[in-house]
Structure 1
Amino acid sequence: MTTRISMTTPVGQRGGRPPAVPDQCGKAAGLARGHSPERSPGPARLFLEGRLAVWMMALLLALGPVGPGWAGLPVVTTTTDLLAIVQAIGGDRVDAVSIGRGHEDPHFVEPRPSFLTTLGRAQLLFLIGLDLEIWLRPLLDGARNLTIKPGGRGYVDCSQVIPVKEIPTVRVDPSMGDVHPLGNPHYWLDPANALRLAELIARKLSEADPAGAATFAANLAAFRRDLEARIPGWKARLAKVPNRKIACFHSSWIYFTDAFGLEIVGYVEPRPGIPPTGREIAALVAAMQAAGAKVILRERYHPDRFADLVAGKVGGKVLVLPASVGAEPAIKTYPDLIETLVARLESALQ
């Protein structure tokens, strides 16, 4: 069933980005904005696209009278993070649901029969974009709702308002793993980008429901006041930790680390979706030892084997973090998510 939850900076030396090694989202050396290279599908992408064709046939056969009954403006989001902001801005005037769930890897969301009717009735669809939702296109084709298909008035790619990081300037090929040739899509983890998203969402809700424009504007102002009041305190807390150098499993965290002054010294899987070689593990161990880094960030949906191996070699630890609203029961709003991340990093980096 569909989930319901009530609820930025050029790449280079800033944030400790290793400059000449492909990162976890598949960006190679020489990254910059404004360039869209040729694309070859990675191994997981080819696998997923094959499965999607089978899933779509099964969904169409299984589809029955399921899906939510809409009480307000029907809105669908691809992630719970977008859902949380839509609900904060839309309030009672929207009936919003998320296709993805907070504990899921947003790259790989398995379709369910309710998705087609949910999308078929929506007037607005908010997505992360930047090739994150490679599973979405077949669902939109099956839903047959022209309003929320690419080019439709209700199709909103939220990356349009984001200063995107890590756009490759070289041709991306499968040897690099599962890559994002349009740039790193994990931008919601920077609160400054959450404010950009809120402004976009308020504008699109007002276009779809002009009678609610005053409500949306007031809710946007309240969301902005709350987040802007919290950001300085979050930054001050992480500025006090004695060692702000970390490693990561996946390049989900570059927007967060840049926003809060942390430094990434390397990745467990430098080629996303491809297990690291012995040489890559040794290189990360050496980088962490040279930097004095003791903490590796990992999302709940990534495997623990290699992260635990590296942590053992450096005498460190793996910090498993929620990457989205709803990943844990207590994380119901966007500020809840950032507060959880700051608190756990503040403790782990002491």
Structure 2
Amino acid sequence: MLLALAAFWLLADTPRAQGLQQRRLVLDVELQRQGPVQAGADRGEQTLSQRWQLSALLQSDGTPIPYNPLDPDDQRRQLQATQSAQRMASEVPVAPPPGVAAMQARAQALMARCGQDSACLMREASALTAATMPTSTQGRLQAYGNAAAACERQPAGKPRKACRADARRAAGGGVDAPQDSGAATPYLLFTGPMSCGLQLTAKLDERVRGSFNDVQGVVTYTESAQGSETRRDDLPCPTLQAVLDTRNGRVWTALALVPQDVLGVRTREEANRRPQRHEGRIGLQWREAQPWLLQRLVQLSAEGQDQARLPVGTGQAEIKLKWSFRPS
């Protein structure tokens, strides 16, 4: 408790809410594909050109959080950190705590002596806490208090953090996490408000030539789908999520419930049969490029672009992605 009192005065070095933050997420995905397709008995060669664009306003309350809900590996890292902390805590013998009244009296005396002097608070709190520990631990804890107090004279930021880490290691507190692990609460969670101004644009041009086996033999067919649409749809807004890693600027996004379709017309003509025509919503299909796209949407940054070429039988699929996640 006494050490907690001292730590209270060091809160200036801990992450705090920075107020409401708004960023606009903009995505532009384009796919060109030429290669074989199969659907049931149909087999053919497809030429596909499609584009999907998204723009939406996301916001965060500015409070850093220690976990990343959009990172599948985050749970493993959190568990490892917890286990490490438990091991460190189990190495320190703990004496029965003094009564509440005694603790309050000590705390009042400590604050009367030190006022708002953070170095004094750290030194005196460590000395008082050491008195309740076994003799073998008292020296290390008191030495840590003196070293930690000296660290308060270091410039705020990395020099002070490095000094504190050295003091903990010297006192037997264990090795710190890797330096690139950054702040303990490095993430900002952004979500879509009820009216996020979600705008979707989709274009589709698909053509297939192929054949299938029928009771009358091989039947050839041609199929096409075309559509182009821009629309405003705030219904999915509350489902939009993005996580920003404040250490390196990496951005994860979750857009699974955002429609990826277009209002268009699909036609089909088979040899010696009546043509078919349907109007309605047509879903966009990323086919071989789907895994690449899903992986890329959790490896974004403030702004950038990327592309990939993927083999498709004797053909090829080329996907391009542009994005930005800038303050609005």
Higher strand residue share: 2
* TM-score (structure 1 length as normaliser): 0.22
* TM-score (structure 2 length as normaliser): 0.23
Higher helix residue share: 1
